[in-house]
Amino acid sequence: MVEVAFFAGAIGAIGGAIAVVALRNPFYSVLALVVHLVFLAGIFLLLRAQFIAAAQIVVYAGAVMVIYVFVAAYVGGIEEPLFDSAPQLRVFGPVLAAALFIEISIAVLGSALIGLGGEGVADVPAGFGTPEAVGRLMLEDFLIAFEAASMLLLVAAVAAIVLAGRKKETGGAG
Amino acid sequence: MAIEWYLVLSALLFSIGLAGVLIRRNPVVILLCLELMLSGGGLALLSFSRLHGDGDGQVFVLMVLVVAAAEVVVGLGLVVAMFRRRIPLDVDEMKELQG
């Protein structure tokens, strides 16, 4: 049962990822990424990360993707020729990606890490991955990281307003 | 389901994202491919979190989520600024910094 769920999720996630890269219209790429993220959230559930899966759907597939949709609609669907990048990259990019995948796979499968072939520790702590456990970790052990993240979001919001805000037209380069 | 499978899947997603970043020229799509790479990394973190039965990796994924959101906001702000100034949305055309 777990295998079926995993492979269904994996096929969906990989298909979505390939569609993001291969579709020519950026608007469709955004929608493909939403599909990818939803399937990936299913895989997160298999790893007992309920809260992360929910946050992924709500924050990523919900909020962040809306920004993408708005921007893709704002700049318009520019249909670019798919493989019209610089000729050396057209060959080099996929080759490098394939080489990296093979290398990481060899590193993972050939490593002597204990338990990699198993399903992880059998006795996970009670409430592992629930909002309560994650929240406890975040507000007790990782409080400084949490506060730094809030500062980062604030700075990013200000930066977006400064970058994309409409300047006075007479202000030269503005 | 062995943890290895999740790690191989995360490597595959990361590689697909990398190929996209290298091949595509539209900055919006490049940002989308960066998201793919980040989600590959997040999947690896969650796999190891499950492997050790330790929740720290999950908090790390949440931090990755926050950083990704900040990166998207700034990146898309740049795209909008490019569009407003009639700069073609093509990263190959932006080479004034290469000296």
pLDDT digits (tens, 9 = 90+) for A71-116: 888 887 666 655 555 667 778 888 999 999 999 999 988 887 777 7
B28 touches chain A (CB under 8 A): yes
Query: Does residue A149 fall inside a structural domain?
Result: no
Q: What is the mean pLDDT of residues A43-56?
A: 92
Task: Decide if pLDDT at B98 tops 70.
Answer: no
Scanning every residue of chain A, which has its alpha carbon at the shortest distance from the alpha carbon of B91? A85
CB-CB neighbors (< 8 A) of A83 in chain B: 23
Q: What is the ipTM of this complex?
A: 0.90
pLDDT recorded at residue B82: 84
CB contact under 8 A, B90 and A80: yes
Confidence of residue A164 (pLDDT cuts 50, 70, 90): confident
- CB contact residues (below 8 A), chain B span 77-96, against chain A: 77-81, 83-84, 89-90, 92
Query: Does residue A90 fall inside a structural domain?
Result: no
CB contact under 8 A, B68 and A142: no
- Domains of chain B plus CATH, in order, are 3-87 (1.10.287.3510)
Exposed/middle/buried for A18, CB within 10 Å: 0-12, 13-18, 19+?
middle
pLDDT recorded at residue A167: 66
pLDDT recorded at residue B81: 86
Query: Does residue A106 fall inside a structural domain?
Result: no
- Listed in sequence order, the residues at least 6 apart from A45 whose beta carbon sits closer than 8 Å to its beta carbon are A53
A14 touches chain B (CB under 8 A): yes
Query: Does residue A113 fall inside a structural domain?
Result: no
Query: Does residue A13 fall inside a structural domain?
Result: yes
pLDDT recorded at residue B33: 94
Rounded to the nearest angstrom, the gap between the alpha carbon of residue A162 and the centroid of all alpha carbons in its chain is 25
What is the percent of chain A with per-residue pLDDT over 70, rounded to a whole number? Answer: 89
CB contact under 8 A, A49 and B49: yes
Domain that residue A71 falls in: 1-82
Rounded to the nearest angstrom, the gap between the alpha carbon of residue A132 and the centroid of all alpha carbons in its chain is 23
B7-22 pLDDT tens trace: 999 999 999 999 999 8
CATH, residue A72: 1.20.120.1200
Scanning every residue of chain A, which has its alpha carbon at the shortest distance from the alpha carbon of B7? A108
- Alpha carbon distance B8, A139 (integer Å): 32
Distances (CA, A) of B63 to A79, A152, A164, B82: 34, 11, 25, 29
pLDDT recorded at residue A30: 92
Q: What is the mean pLDDT of residues A127-142?
A: 89
Asked if A125 and B53 touch (Cβ cutoff 8 Å), the reply is yes
A101 touches chain B (CB under 8 A): yes
CA dihedral angle for residue B32, residue B36, residue B38, residue B43, rounded to 10 degrees: 150
Structural domains of chain A, count: 1
Distances (CA, A) of A147 to A15, A78, A161, B88: 36, 39, 22, 38
Mean pLDDT of chain A: 85
Q: What is the mean pLDDT of residues B40-57?
A: 91
Task: Decide if pLDDT at B93 tops 80.
Answer: no
pLDDT recorded at residue A79: 62
Task: Decide if pLDDT at A172 tops 90.
Answer: no
CB contact under 8 A, A108 and B11: yes
CB contact under 8 A, B72 and A152: no
Give A161 to chain B, closest Cα distance, Å.
8
Cα torsion angle, A34, A36, A39, A45, sign: negative
B67-81 pLDDT tens trace: 999 999 999 988 888
Farthest CA pair distance, chain B: 52
Q: What is the mean pLDDT of residues A133-149?
A: 91
Query: Does residue A11 fall inside a structural domain?
Result: yes
Give A167 to chain B, closest Cα distance, Å.
10
